[in-house]
Amino acid sequence: MLKLKDGFVLKEIAGKCVAVPTGSDIDFNGMITLNPTAKTLWDCLAQGAEMEDLVAALLAAYDVEEETAVAHVADFVEKLKGLNFLV
Amino acid sequence: MTQLYRIAGLMVQMESFGRTVEQAKPYLTEETGEPDIVIHSQWQNLQKMAPHLSEDSCEYLSTGSSFYRQLLEYDGMLLHASAVVMDGRAYLFSAPCGTGKSTHTKLWLQVFGERAQILNDDKPALRLEEGSFYAYGTPWSGKHDVSLNVRVPVGGICVLQRGEENRIEPYSGTMAIYDILAQTVRSKNPAMMEKLLTLMGILLEKVPVWRMECNMDPSAAQVSYAAMSGKDRIC
């Protein structure tokens, strides 16, 4: 299962959804902004989800082709893994 | 010796030494009562982590960090900036170390003479009070200890970059949020980080933010003042 590490604070600032890590588990001194699709995936990943769940969440929330959703999810998960944000 | 100070409108109890005591002198208060903030210096811990720093520097950094951390409880935050006051407004120039924040505000003093004064050359405190943001001088004002023990409404924040020409423009969006966040103290504690981000959100709504590329010519001060004070607008 894919799951975000604990300690992220999510906040809307000046119209942007911003995620900032706290605690000592995440070695990242920046912040990331989430667009609406990323926010949808983020919320699922905060609870814990499989790739299929993430694709299903995108398909339910947005009018996209499955192929596009799969590519989007793979790309986003890859980014989070690269940042070492996942458990 | 433990002393009571009034800093950024708050009663602060601090036991300190060296440069910190000297820089805090203008903030001593005769008032009595319960302090809002009690500063516990951790300079020994800091020196263990950073052995190249003197005891005095560790004390200064540790007390400052304790103060600004607790300031969040009172709708206040640190912005790493050089703050200059002119015509009753504070203008804060923020940037990473070595960019030339102090150099830029010195140009204001040079160009505008006694009309301009440095409020805090390094770490002004910002507080949200009755719906408006105010900047305060504090004892933690940098190497040269230039600060004023006053409260001034914030007229604007400008993120500085070095450039060939002087150019200023309104700044917003993701990069503005990032640059402000990078110049304050981030908490490791989720609840405090939540408070900081909430306060930053209000700050970005209420206070005009600018981005400027500047050189070291005195005209740089005229360019930033004209834009940030609104004096270049015809109305």
pLDDT at B234 over 80: no
DSSP class of residue A5 equals: P
Tell me whether residues B190 and A9 touch, CB distance under 8 A.
yes
From A22, A24, A29, residue closest to B193, measured CB to CB:
A22
Please report the pLDDT score of residue A24 as a whole number.
82
Please report the pLDDT score of residue B235 as a whole number.
43
Q: In terms of CA atoms, which chain A residue is nearest residue B186? A: A22
Tell me whether residues A23 and B188 touch, CB distance under 8 A.
yes
Which chain A residues touch B179 with a CB distance below 8 Å? none
Give chain B's mean pLDDT: 93
Please report the pLDDT score of residue B233 as a whole number.
54
Å from A52 to nearest chain B CA?
30
- Residue B186 falls in which region: left (phi positive, over 0), alpha (psi -120 to 50) or beta: beta
Tell me whether residues B194 and A11 touch, CB distance under 8 A.
yes
Task: Write the pLDDT tens digit of every residue in B32-61.
Answer: 999 999 998 889 899 999 999 999 999 999
From A14, A29, A30, residue closest to B205, measured CB to CB:
A14
- What is the domain partition of chain B in residue ranges? 1-74, 77-235
Q: How far apart are CA B134 and CA B151, in angstroms?
A: 6
Tell me whether residues A14 and B204 touch, CB distance under 8 A.
yes
Please report the pLDDT score of residue A30 as a whole number.
86
What pLDDT band is residue B232 in, cutting at 50, 70 and 90?
low
The highest-level CATH class for domain B77-235 is alpha beta
Tell me whether residues B186 and A29 touch, CB distance under 8 A.
yes
Paired with B160 in beta bridges are B212
From A14, A20, A22, residue closest to B172, measured CB to CB:
A14
Q: In sequence order, what DSSP letters do the residues of chain B get, joined into one string?
A: -EEEEEETTEEEEEE--HHHHHHHGGGB----S--SEEE---HHHHHHH-TTS-HHHHHHHHHHHHHHHHHGGGTEEE--EEEEEETTEEEEEE-STTS-HHHHHHHHHHHHGGGEEEEESS--EEEEETTEEEEE--S--TTTT-B---EEEEEEEEEEEE-SS-EEEE--HHHHHHHHHHTSPPPSSHHHHHHHHHHHHHHHHHS-EEEEEE-SSTHHHHHHHHHHHTTTS--
Which two three-digit tokens encode residue B148? 């004023």
Tell me whether residues A9 and B193 touch, CB distance under 8 A.
yes
pLDDT at B137 over 70: yes
Q: Does A31 touch chain B (CB under 8 A)?
A: yes
Tell me whether residues A22 and B190 touch, CB distance under 8 A.
yes
Tell me whether residues B201 and A12 touch, CB distance under 8 A.
yes
Please report the pLDDT score of residue B218 as a whole number.
95
Q: How far apart are CA B49 and CA B51, in angstroms?
A: 6
Which two three-digit tokens encode residue A34? 């989430």
pLDDT at B124 over 60: yes
Which phi and psi (to 5°) does residue B12 adopt? -125, 125
Task: Write the pLDDT tens digit of every residue in B66-113.
Answer: 999 999 999 999 999 999 999 999 999 999 888 889 999 999 999 999
From A7, A9, A30, residue closest to B197, measured CB to CB:
A9
Crossing angle of the two packed helices A66-82 and A36-47, in degrees rounded to 10: 70
From A14, A16, A22, residue closest to B188, measured CB to CB:
A22
Please report the pLDDT score of residue B184 as a whole number.
94
Q: In terms of CA atoms, which chain B residue is nearest residue A25? A: B188
Task: Write the pLDDT tens digit of every residue in B139-192.
Answer: 998 877 788 999 999 999 999 999 999 999 999 988 999 999 999 988 889 999
Is A49 in a helix, a strand, or coil?
strand
Q: In terms of CA atoms, which chain B residue is nearest residue A20? A: B193
Å from A58 to nearest chain B CA?
24
Residues 6 or more apart in contact with residue B175 via CB below 8 angstroms: none
